[in-house]
Chain A
Amino acid sequence: MGLLTIKNLSLSLNGNKILDELSVDFWEGHIHAVVGPNGAGKSTFAYTIMGLSGYRDFQGDILFAGKSIKNLPIDQRARLGITLGWQEPARYEGLKVRDFIKAAGRFNGEENGVVEEALHKMGLEPLLYANRAVDKTLSGGERKKIEMASILAMRPKLVLLDEPDSGIDVSALKNIFAALTYLKAMGSTVILITHSLEVLKQADHAFLLCAGKIFDKGPVSRIQHYFEDKCLICDHKNVPEEFPVEVKG
């Protein structure tokens, strides 16, 4: 059994079924990519695992290390070691980068140097960034790197990364790849949502999510095929019956 097991997960938002009897197992210590067309339900899937408000009312179950986390609030899930990196990270007013990262590091029991180390790992000079605010003055790419730094400081057991590469330039992409390597080295299990082939290739294996279901899974080389041929021009979006591939989930 995997670190995270999803059993028959169905979730509707405003009367629309977004996740549909989804079942999947994520093995511990791997980088799992989740790909699929826009609107497939990837972010919804991540939010449901994290337990965000609005994503708590679903059928099925979510097991973490064999135990149901269905009824736990976000912070208790986080204290089990689960975290989420947002596609568009939150911006604050006045909250210092230092305090933002420290808040995540505190959970992990480490104190000294945790902020500097995490920033360094993401290629951000602590002297320039630690005392800035996590606000709208940070560029999109800087904000994403700071999100990742705070995740590194937390040393999570399971991290859901929702498009960590979106809005990121080529050099920053290297920092994101490095972060994946650090996470893997610290034994974290990563669920990596992406639209980028390059990022997909960083994964150990991959899942194809379409219309709220897992349509296929396997080595990156296999999923890459759908990704290149189908999903970029997928006209089967949210019409599962017509999807040409048999479900292997």
Chain B
Amino acid sequence: MSDQMQQMKEVYETTESDSSVLNDPEVAHLVIHQNKVLGLHKVPGLEIDVTELDDGVELNIRLADGTIVKKPVHLCFGIIPETGVQRIKMDVKIGKNAKISLLSHCTFPNAVDIQHIMDAEIVVGENSEYNYFERHIHGTKGGIKVVPTAKVTLEKGAKFITEFELLKGRVGEIYIDYQITGKEDSVMEMTSRISGTGDDFIQIKESGFLVGERARGVLTSKIAAREKAQAEVYNTLRATAPFTRGHVDCHEIVKDEAIAKAIPIVDVQDPRAHVTHEAAIGSVDNKQLETLMSRGMDEDEAVELIINGLLS
């Protein structure tokens, strides 16, 4: 096995995933360590161009009209040393009537002073579907700043489903900023699940603009903040077209000295639109807790079970 291949597998395995998937010719993959491409494999209809920059990479992803990528594309970004900067500039264009799922792992297992900046522009073409799942694996020291920003445009009938998960290791600081515009009959569904401890800082700003008739959107944030962690969620859904539907959902459990804020904005500018929001912020629900305790769990175990359920 070449050095590079070996290195790639090592990076990949810090994501607690089985690297054998990288040998599957039907699975497209891209593995980037800091600003170096360790592995790249494409499948028909999917173009991935990478340019190495001083402090990261620039990615151009193109999916041709009508292409259905059967198996999820595996992306892996990471920095194994304790310090460094990784800037990912991503330009994604999905053609018409196409479908793709991306499974992205971001791994910083030894972070002491790391910055991971992701700057994406995504256009999902007419009647296409783009599924993006991003899982972060951080170390235990908390010395990391993660700044994912994205501007997304959904053409007519496009579907955009994303999940962001940061449950392993310390968050450090995270600033998520997503802006999505949905044209007619489009669907946007964004979910973030983040668990903060120590003095972690979590900020989520998601804005969905339902500009086309019958566009739909759901923004969901689930956060557990323990110890001295702080979480702020600013989610906005603006409906300016008729028959649009949306829901903003925020559930934050706080424990110890943690602080949580949620500022949902529901902005409806057409009488035929309908947008709702739900927010629950606070300590663990007493009845949930006492039920588990009445089955023999002690308080701490019960709290953990409830939080793990919420974040699952």
Contacts and interface: CB of A to CB of B under 8 A. Distances in A.
Interface stretch (A5-13, A102-110, A193-201, A206-214): A102-110
B290 A104 contact: no
B290 A93 contact: no
Interface in B264-312: 285-288, 290-299, 302, 305-306, 308-312
B309 A86 contact: no
B312 A94 contact: yes
Nearest to A79: B296
Nearest to A151: B295
A150 interface: yes
Given A53-B286, A75-B298, A94-B309, 20 more contacts: A52-B290, A74-B290, A75-B296, A75-B299, A78-B296, A83-B295, A90-B285, A90-B287, A92-B309, A93-B310, A94-B308, A94-B312, A95-B308, A95-B312, A96-B309, A99-B305, A103-B295, A103-B297, A104-B295, A104-B296
B223 to A, nearest CB: 12
9 contacts: A50-B290, A53-B286, A75-B293, A75-B297, A75-B302, A77-B294, A95-B309, A104-B296, A154-B296
A93 B293 contact: no
Interface of A: 50, 52-53, 73-75, 77-79, 82-84, 86, 89-96, 99-100, 103-104, 106-107, 133, 150-151, 154
B295 A150 contact: yes
Interface of B: 222, 251, 285-288, 290-299, 302, 305-306, 308-312
B63 to A, nearest CB: 32
Contacts of B312: 94-96
Among the interface residues B285, B292, B298, B311, which one has the most CB atoms of the partner chain A within 10 A? B292
Contacts of A104: 295-296
Contacts of A133: 309
B7 to A, nearest CB: 37
Contact of B294 (A74, A92, A99, A106): A74
Contact of A90 (B222, B288, B298): B288
A94 B311 contact: yes
Contact of A53 (B290, B292, B295, B305): B290
A93 B309 contact: yes
A96 B305 CA distance: 10
A106 B311 contact: no
A94 B309 CA distance: 4
A107 B295 contact: yes
Main secondary structure of the interface of B (DSSP, over half): helix
Nearest to A75: B293
Among the interface residues A82, A90, A106, which one has the most CB atoms of the partner chain B within 10 A? A90
B76 to A, nearest CB: 27
Contacts of A52: 290
Contacts of B294: 50, 74-75, 77-78, 82-84
Contact of B251 (A91, A93, A100, A154): A93
Contact of A103 (B222, B251, B292, B310): B292
A154 B296 CA distance: 9
A173 B267 CA distance: 47
A86 B288 CA distance: 11
Contacts of B305: 95, 99, 103
A103 B289 CA distance: 12
A75 B303 CA distance: 13
B310 A86 contact: no
Contacts of B251: 93
Nearest to B311: A94
Contacts of B292: 100, 103
A108 B274 CA distance: 49
A143 to B, nearest CB: 11
B144 to A, nearest CB: 26
Given A52-B290, A53-B286, A92 B306 contact: yes
Closest 6 CB pairs of A and B: A95-B309, A107-B296, A104-B295, A94-B309, A90-B287, A74-B293
A103 B299 CA distance: 13
A86 B296 contact: no
A136 to B, nearest CB: 11
Among the interface residues B251, B295, B302, B312, which one has the most CB atoms of the partner chain A within 10 A? B295
Contacts of B308: 94-95
Given A92-B309, A103-B305, A86 B293 contact: no
Contact of A78 (B286, B288, B295): B295
A105 to B, nearest CB: 9
B288 to A, nearest CB: 5
Contacts of A50: 290, 294
Given A94-B311, A103-B297, A86 B306 contact: no
A221 B286 CA distance: 39
A77 B290 CA distance: 12
Contacts of A91: 288
A119 to B, nearest CB: 16
A90 B291 contact: yes
Nearest to A105: B295
Contacts of A106: 296
Contacts of B285: 90
